[in-house]
Every structure is written in structure tokens, then in C-alpha cells.
Chains A and B, each alone.
Chain A
Amino acid sequence: MNSSEHLTSQYVMVIDVDRCTGCGACMIACAIENNVSPAHPDATDRTGVTWMRVVKVDSGKNGNGQQARFLPLPCQQCAAQTPCVTVCPQNAVEVDESTGIVFQMPQRCFGCRYCMAACPYHARYFNWWDPEWPEGMEQTLNPDVAPRMRGVVEKCNFCHGRYHAARAAAAEEGHPTSDNVRYEPACAQACPTQAITFGTLADEESGVGELIRSATAFRILPKLGTEPRVYYLSELKWIRQLAEREKELPTGEEVHG
């Protein structure tokens, strides 16, 4: 496989910000799929574990003139100069060249949290406490994903359990297994307004290729050169400016995120 084939066979997520209603279904679906436990009593928005986090951003004006939107923020799966890979002393983070997915391996992680400091998207989470479910609820855990212990970092991996299950299913059906097997992460499946699209550029049916070429597509902090594999769509200029941070905002306007 040459490098251009690599790029087209790698997975891409496209999130339509104008369709997101901030319902949080993606966050809950993600937590259930990946066996992330309910919050510890002491957990806060800084110490919690939310692989997919939806944040409310606004255009900064007060009152009636203010616009707001919800911005779902999973790991951006950086394709170039992946900051977390560069800093990890344990090689606990790797980029899978065939799928483009940035994998976190909790078995190797010893919890130094360099990767969290390096991540410009704040998409990595540290387990400050052991995972704990109310009595009996552990029966509802996803059999495809092992719970992690305290002291390790974790993050979105585009539902790796589903990826492997899809490959296994394709193999069972006798299809020639390839790396870019079609599957859907939990957040995309759960979204009630279908704001999240997922697939590879090679898979034309997924529609991601067309979406990322649209005029309303943008990525977060592109000037860092990390080439995120998560794209966003919005017709609102202020939200693109907020995400790209490339231009000065109009005088007197601020953005809050």
C-alpha cells in the first residue's frame, strides 16, 4: 500500500455542528460502549473521563444577539506530528498507519500524563479513581472492551472494539478482510440528528469525502499542523473562526468556549 492509499483508507469523522442539538447521546453511547464508569463522587469537569465531550460555545455577544452552538470534541486522531505519540516515554500511544487511528495502550501507560499536557485538544483523560459501577450494573458492561484501572490515561479510539468486531464479521462472511472495513462508532450510531458521519475516503458510500471537501468544512487548530482526522461542518463564520483561530475576531467580539 503506498502513502496515498494509506490516506484514503484511513478513517475520518465529520461532525455537522449546525445539526448538533447538544443532547449528549453521543457522550452516553460512548461511555456505555467503552465501559467508562459513572462519575466518582469527587469527579469534576476537570477530572472526569468523557472520551466524547460536547461543549457549548458562543459568539460572545450578550443577550438576544448572542449565538451559540454545541461542539462535540472527541480525540482528533492527529495524522501528523501526533503530539501524544511524540511525548510518551512508554510508547503507550501509537498511530495505526493502516487506519489512521491513534491508539492508547493502557497496559503500557504508567500515568505520567505528558500526553495530556501535549494534547492541544484536551481530548485525553486520566483515571484518577478505579472504575466503579453500582452493584449489579457490571453485568451491563460491553464484553468487547476491558475496563481500565486508575492511574492510566485513556481517550477516544474511534470505537476500536467495533473495528475489530467488523473485521471479524467480514472474515466470517468470507469477504477478503481489509483494513478499511465499514463500521460505525457508537457516537455516530447514537446521534439522533445524524450529525456525525464516519468512514474512509475510499468508501464513497460513507460520504465523508464529499463532506470534507465542502466549503463549510473546517478543522480545529489547523495551524498547528497536526492534520486532525476529525472534521467539522458549519455555515456560521464565527464558529469556524473560533475553531481555526486564524483570523482576528471583529472588534469588540469575543468567543467563549
Chain B
Amino acid sequence: MSSTLTRRNILKLAGGSVLGFLLSPMPWKTLDDVSIWTQNWSWIPKVPRGPITHKFTSCSLCPSACSVKARMTSGKPVSLWGLPGTEIRRGALCSIGLAGHHLAFHPTRIRETVRVKKLVEGVTFDPVSPDDLVAHLATILREIQSHPREGTFALLDGRPGGMTSDMHRLIMSHLDASTYILPDAYDGCFMEALGEMTEEPTAQYGLNLSRTRTILNFGASLFEGWGSSPQVLEQFRSRRNELTIIQVDPQRSASAVCANHWIPIKPGSETAFALGLANVIIRERLHDPSMTARAVDLDRSKPFSFMDLTRQFPPSRVSSLTEIPEQLIVETARQFASDKPAIALADDFSGEVLHRIVWGLNALVGAIGKEGSVSHKHQLPRPWKEYQQAPVTRLSEIPDHSIRLLIVDGSLTDSTIPWSTLHRKLRSENCTVVHCSPYQPQQADLIDYIFPVHAPYETYRDTPTGSYSRKTGFSISAPLWNGPQGTCEAWQLLQRIVTTAGISLKGGLAGLQPSNLLRSQTDAIFHAKRGALHLPAVNETVPVIEVTSSDEFHAAILDGAVWSDEDVAPPSSGKFLFLGKSVAASETLVRSVLATGNLASRDANEFPLLLVPVDREVASRFAQVSPIMSKLYQESGLKPSPQIAHIHHETAERFDLVDNGKVVIRSTHGSTEAVLRFDGSVRPDTVEVSASKIDTIRSRHGALPQASEIMGHAGREQWNHLMFVRIERA
């Protein structure tokens, strides 16, 4: 039998081989492997592996200081969750707080001491030795001490109120020709303004909203998603049908969406609106007699009285100033004065004048010291006395061109640093500015050196009582990461400079370490023997008097426990000042208020539109946020992207602008590019632009369009400052 290889045999073999191969698992296994292989490229990050543990701590990003449970893998945090804890800290972490553990790795992180070199094309950061910098600054400090007429030393505290602020003030009390400065606006300054209107300037106030029926809100962050009072969120969740929220806001913010009533006020006319409400309350005799009896300057018989001031703002005039119907002003005043307990709130960054008038409204309806509104609270027990510390000076009180050496503590917040005002206060020549921050500053043109400090969750940081908190409280934000080598707290830099300058620090301040500092603080609270300690690990609350020793108390605080103070009975008497402590102060305030009525001072032809800066809360409160926040700003449009401006379609049509068109927005201060979007909720003749300077978003063109570019000095530092713009097609 001969075997010949025919063409048919070859074809059969080939066909059979192909069929057999396809029927075998080999190709499918290969496809599967290739599929898996192509999804495991070397550049796709691998997830961390290791034992899972949990750690309890607190968030230090804003004064709400929510309790946090951190999930750790191999000792490193992979997620943070809010903890329902004590009544003062509900543990409702906001989106920024949920991603707080990312902040150590922010792309703008500064990891070494740098000198800021200003070039025509921008700034560069050149590393310098921290020891050399300390020696250089010590030399300047010595010169200031011996020749104070040639300029002073000043330290500006970006977020006052914690142990770091105490340390700054203690160290600076040893120096001549030095000033501890607070910005004119900072977190909590609205609540602090109340202290200046009573006979108790050092009294502490908080909010007790458990029975509140009406909240009249002038732009405070109730539901913006961050910096919100956990107490407000709790009341919104549990008593939604019993609580009426009236939002006075030029923009339909998240608070305006969630409020029962939104009053879309003309930007800049909030003070006039508040005075219009006061006018109605006084005219219709809806005010609370017990509170008004305590008022020193309500009556018309005084040179400058609150009653006289409100008489100049009848509803008819306020209606023309605010563009709110007269009837709505009257109805709002009646509801606020009758549906009690009621409280009026204002944004911390809306200016002293509005703060005073809003507190005046609260006084009229008897909201101060009553349950369901403003409550008293104790001061936090401190290991140091007030007289041992350098006095506080507001930035506006500093003489122009007087500062030779300035240290800015921007550890927790950078955006609130009023750089443009600081510029006026610095000597024009031979002055040095050092910025202490974990991140590259958003305005570097004034800065000479940047000293790296800890990012959140890199060191023990105290989280003292939030301004809206009903009671005084204390907890610790414990480190979850080790910071870069060489980073420390801003007060430690000051300590080094002062000791290098040969100035002796008393009371053990020279060798003080953060651990000793923390221990002193917890001992002071323990020895006050007040309040209770909430232990998150076991979800139990223990009275402090039952804690056996200060060691046990300190250990519990390090493990994430939250101390909350006892309730304080409100004082039944005490004088209240609506305007100012002197005739001159009252006159200044009245003049400022009357100036708010003059809203039309602009060139309507050149700049016909009013700028409404939106997303002010992020711009005001946070040094940086996690890049994951781009989900909200860039990838969903939930929050206002700096790249997009919003305008009403009828306004746009008048200026021949199109939806989704590229535009240039110009003011007297500069210009910025943006994409214009139509939005029916935007007020006529206004344009909404994000004020956020948060560096989560890089446009594809490299630039980061921001409202701050066109808002000028005053606009950046006080949100209700009026800014007029024009828009042109790009």
C-alpha cells in the first residue's frame, strides 16, 4: 500500500489542525491570559497588602473637628470614616475630610525649605538649608530687637485658636518690636463678633439648635458640603419638618437648594436687607422686650442708635436696593420674629458690618442666651494664662509699611491669608517674608522663603472647639503618616529662630517639644474636672471625674477620645451694644452701613455685569484638597469648576454671548478666560465665577482660570465686596 501525500491530505490536515486547535482549551486560555495580562500593566498601581487595623482620631481640616475612624493597611491609612460620637461632633465627614489622608501626597507638596525666586516667566523654588535660613532670620530678628524703628517683626496666624497659636503668642511675649497678627476675617470670627457686642469680650458662644424653628442664613456654610456645622446637618436630618431655613444668597448655592425659602438678593445688599428686617421688627413691635431692655444703644435718644439706623432702611428703600419685593421683606421679618426660637447666621468672611447687623437682628428677637439659639460655653482650660501671651492685633490695625520680618503660619489654611493687605503692611525695601505651609502657596509673589510644615495627619494636632459648637470640646488629630524629614510645626520654627537669636525663653519654652505641649494641654483639661470623655473604640462616654489619672486621660485622648465640656447656664443680665463701644466706633459703623446703600458706583458702560464669586467656602477654609475632589469639580459638574462661568440666558442674549462659548471676563483688576454656561437660576446682570483656588484642576491649556484673578485685593478678602466686570467672546 503506497502512501502518497496528496493536496487533499494537506488540506485535510490543515483543516483538522485548525479545528482541533480551536476545540482545544489553548486559544481560549491564551485569550484569557492575554486579557488579564493587558489589564495588569506594570504602570497600573498595585494595591497595598497587609494586616487591616483601625485607628481613631479627629479631622483637623476645619473647626468642626469630626471624629474619624481610619482603616489602615500595614499601618497606612486607606480610608477615613466619620464616627457618630459625642453631641458636639457628629462625625459627619465631608467630602474633603473623607479624602484627608491623601493630602500628604498632594502634587503641590513642599518637602524641603525653599527660597522663592521671582522671574519674569513665573516663580521657581530653590532648596536652601533650613539651618542657614534659621540663622539668617535670627540675624534679622536681632537687628529688629536693637533697631525697632527700622521695622518690626510680625507673625500672622492663618487659623487661630489652637495650641500652635498659644505657642506663637507665648514665644512672642519674649520679644520687643513684635506683633502677633490675626487676619480681619477667619473661621469663627462671626461668633467672636458677638463677644465684642456684649460686656463679656472673652465670653464663648455657640449654637444650640436642638429646638430651633427658624434659621435665617446670610451665606454661612450650612449645606455647602464642608465647614458645615454637624449640628445643622443633624437638625436637617432629624427635624426637617420642624425647621424652616431661609437662605439669603445671591446664588443658588447648595444651602439655597436645601433651604425652605431662597431669597436671591442682589450681591452686596445683604446689610441693607438685614436692616430692612430690623426696621419691620421694630416698627411692628415684634422685638423681644427682655433683650432690648439690655441694649445700650437701641434707643433714639443716643447720638448713634440702632433704631435711628434702621429707620433709614424702610422696606420700600430696601426693596429698591436689594431687588427683593417689599412684601417678601415684611413677611420674612414677621416669620423670623414670630416663629421662634430663631437664629440669624452670617458667613465668617462677609465682613464686620454685616456681622454686627445680623447679631443686632438676633438681639431684637431675643435669640442670645436662649435655648434653641445662641448658648454660652466655657473657655477651654489652657495651661497658660492670657497675660503670659503676646496680645492679639488685627491686621487692619498694623501701620502700613512697618513690617520688616513677617512669618505667615499657613499650616492649615493658605487661602485665607490676606496677601494683598499684607503687601501694604510690609516695608517697601529690605523686608523678608517666610511662609510656613505644607504646600506651594497660591500667591507666591510676596514670599521669600517657604518652610515646610506638617500636612494633615502627619503630627499630633489639637482640634479645639468649633465656633458653632454648642459646647467646648477637645480632641487630637493623631498622625497616620510620617511627614518628610525636616518638617515641623510653625511654632517650632519660631522657637528655633528666637533661641538662635540668643533671646532667652522662660518657662521651659526653649526646649518644649510637641509631645510636652500636648501633655500640658490634656493635664489642664483633666484638672478642670469638668465634662465627659467619649471613647470611640467602645462607643462609651465617661465623666472626667471618673477618670482615675491624668495619664489615663491623656492616653484616651491620644487614642481618639473626645472631651466635651458641661453645659453653661446663660447669664440673665449684661449690657448689649448694637453698634460700637464708643460714639466714634458707632459713627464709623453707621457710615459703613450707609455706604452699603450706594450700590451703583460703577461705570455701567464699561463694566455692566456684577461678579458673584461662588464656591467661597473652599476658597476660604482649606489650604488644599485631595486631587480626588476633581470628581466633584471636573468630572461631574456638581461643584463649580473654575473653568466655567454661569450666566442667565436673557443677560447673555443682551451681550450676544452663546451657551458653551469661550469668553474673556474682564474687571479693572485683570482678566480670565472661561466657558460660559446658561443657567436659569443666575440673577439677571450678574455672572457667577468660582472663587476656588484649589489646585485639583489643571485645564488642558495649562492655565487655571479663577475669579480671584479678576476680583482684586478687596474682593479676594471679603466676599460681598462688589466687583463689576464685562464679558467678551474669546
Contact = CB atoms under 8 A, between A and B. Distances in A.
- A, B in one complex: yes
A23 B224 contact: yes
B14 interface: no
B485 interface: no
Given A23-B95, A25-B98, A62-B680, A50 B631 contact: yes
B197 to A, nearest CB: 31
A161 to B, nearest CB: 10
B105 interface: yes
A29 interface: yes
Given A54-B638, A107-B39, A23 B94 contact: yes
For chain B, what secondary structure do more than half of its interface residues adopt (helix, strand, loop), or is it mixed?
A: loop
Given A38-B627, A140-B102, A146-B47, A25 B93 contact: yes
B99 A50 contact: no
Interface stretch (A95-103, A175-183, A189-197): A189-197
B38 interface: yes
B553 interface: no
A149 B39 contact: yes
A66 B681 contact: yes
A134 B35 contact: no
B99 A32 contact: yes
B527 interface: no
B631 A22 contact: no
Nearest to B104: A136
Contacts of B107: 134
A140 B49 contact: no
Interface stretch (A39-47, A76-84, A204-212, A217-225): A39-47
Nearest to B230: A192
Interface residues of A, number: 70
B267 interface: no
Contacts of A49: 635
A48 interface: yes
A50 B634 contact: no
A147 interface: yes
Contacts of A45: 634-637
A130 B41 contact: yes
B635 A50 contact: yes
Contacts of A70: 254, 257, 638
B439 interface: no
A112 interface: no
B632 A24 contact: yes
A106 interface: yes
B186 interface: no
B221 to A, nearest CB: 10
B510 interface: no
Contact of A24 (B77, B95, B240): B95
B1 interface: no
A139 B75 CA distance: 11
Interface string B86-119: 0000101111001101101111000000000000
A138 B79 contact: no
Contact of A39 (B252, B258, B631): B631
Interface in B29-57: 35-36, 38-41, 43-50, 52
A31 B630 CA distance: 11
Nearest to B680: A62
Contacts of B263: 64
A120 interface: no
A66 B680 contact: yes
Interface string A21-39: 1111101110111011011
Contact of A64 (B92, B223, B262, B638): B262
B264 A63 contact: yes
Interface string A47-79: 111100111101011111010111000000000
Contacts of B340: none
Contacts of B628: 28, 31-32, 38
B76 interface: yes
Given A24-B631, A43-B634, A145-B47, A193 B254 contact: no
A24 B79 CA distance: 16
A152 interface: yes
B64 to A, nearest CB: 10
B506 interface: no
A39 B697 contact: yes
A202 interface: no
A61 B648 CA distance: 12
B432 interface: no
B236 interface: yes
A38 B77 CA distance: 18
For chain A, what secondary structure do more than half of its interface residues adopt (helix, strand, loop), or is it mixed?
A: loop
A144 B236 CA distance: 34
B72 to A, nearest CB: 10
Contact of A143 (B78, B224, B225, B631): B78
Given A28-B628, A38-B696, A190-B81, A56 B98 contact: no
A6 interface: no
Contacts of B224: 23
A24 B99 CA distance: 12
A139 B50 CA distance: 12
B105 A135 contact: yes
B8 interface: no
Nearest to A64: B264
Interface centre among B82, B252, B680 (most CB of A within 10 A): B680
B76 A140 contact: yes
A63 B101 CA distance: 40
B244 to A, nearest CB: 14
Contacts of B106: 134
Nearest to B45: A138
Nearest to B223: A21
Interface in A119-151: 130-131, 133-149
A134 B104 CA distance: 10
Contacts of A160: none
Contact of A54 (B77, B262, B636): B636
A246 interface: no
Given A23-B94, A29-B98, A64-B263, A131 B45 contact: yes
Contact of A21 (B38, B236, B637): B236
A149 B41 CA distance: 8
A184 B38 CA distance: 32
A69 B76 CA distance: 38
B105 A134 contact: yes
B654 interface: no
Interface in B225-263: 225-226, 228, 230, 233, 236-237, 240, 252, 254, 257-258, 262-263
14 contacts: A23-B225, A23-B254, A25-B98, A31-B631, A38-B627, A39-B627, A50-B631, A62-B680, A70-B638, A110-B35, A138-B45, A140-B77, A142-B78, A143-B52
The 3 closest A-B pairs by CB, nearest first: A48-B635, A23-B225, A192-B92
Given A43-B635, A256-B680, 18 more contacts: A21-B257, A22-B223, A25-B93, A28-B628, A28-B629, A32-B628, A38-B628, A39-B635, A45-B637, A50-B636, A63-B683, A64-B264, A70-B257, A107-B35, A138-B46, A138-B48, A146-B47, A192-B93
